[in-house]
Amino acid sequence: MSLNDLTVEAVNSALREFDDLTRDPFLARYGFKPARSYFLIRDGKQYDTKAILLP
């Protein structure tokens, strides 16, 4: 999947999975390290941007 293929549905699905698994297991599943600088914020929750946009 590239950023050109990114849809609202794909982002929402990733956010739901992140919430279901919690941060560390989600990051481990997709091989990402914790974000240091950039986060996506939704409903007051912070998400690791690369892990959400590039799984």
pLDDT in tens, 3-36: 777 899 999 999 999 999 999 999 999 999 999 9
pTM over cut 0.85: yes
What's the confidence (pLDDT) of residue 1?
A: 62
Structural domains counted in the chain = 1
Burial classification of residue 49, based on how many CB atoms lie within 10 Å of its CB (0-12 exposed, 13-18 middle, 19 or more buried)? middle
In the prediction, which pLDDT does 43 show?
95
Tell me, what's the pLDDT at 54? Answer: 82
Range of the structural domain that residue 41 is part of: 3-53
The answer to whether the CB of 45 falls within 8 A of the CB of 24 is: no
> What pLDDT is attached to residue 3?
74
- Indicate the pLDDT class of residue 55, thresholds 50, 70 and 90: low
Task: Specify whether the CB–CB gap between 6 and 16 falls below 8 A.
Answer: no
